[in-house]
Amino acid sequence: MFTNEKDVILETIRLASEREQARADYEAVNGAKKWGVYLPEEKALNDYLMTLERDVVETLEALMLIGRDDEYRAEGVSPEQNYLNLKEKRYHHHPDQQAAVYYLTGKKPLAQFMEDGLSYLGIIL
């Protein structure tokens, strides 16, 4: 699983981690980040995700969601099947690429959610 997406997942986690650290650093100095303040690390993550195929962005979304909470982890179903069921359910859930990317980038702990998803699935990249 994720053989073809390994590099994309790792890069997304890296960029999301950098974004989250930059935001924490900014807020430590300036207080809560205001609407309209766009950090370079946020732009880097957004720009990267916009270069990906929509199916890849949806793979990232499903990985993030399965790592975010137990809502998508049905009892008596394997982690892999839970992931596949979620991915099928969420297929083209957003109207376009920008909406799908916006949904992902709206998650402040995106890197942690993705790492938790990998852990839940028992995958080490």
What is the pLDDT, as a whole number, of residue 91?
A: 82
**Residue 41 CA: distances (Å) to CA of 26, 50, 58, 68:** 11, 14, 21, 22
Question: Confidence band (pLDDT; 50, 70, 90) for 37?
Answer: confident
> CB–CB of 76/105 below 8 Å?
no
What is the pLDDT, as a whole number, of residue 36?
A: 83
pTM: 0.92
pLDDT at 125 over 90: no
Q: What is the pLDDT of residues 43-82, one digit of tens each?
A: 999 999 999 999 999 999 999 999 998 899 999 999 999 9
Q: What is the pLDDT of residues 110-120, one digit of tens each?
A: 999 999 999 99
In 10 A of CB 111, how many CB atoms?
21
Cα torsion for 78, 82, 83, 88, to the nearest 10°? 140
Q: What is the pLDDT of residues 98-107, one digit of tens each?
A: 999 999 999 8
**Residue 32 CA: distances (Å) to CA of 22, 24, 28, 92:** 12, 9, 8, 33
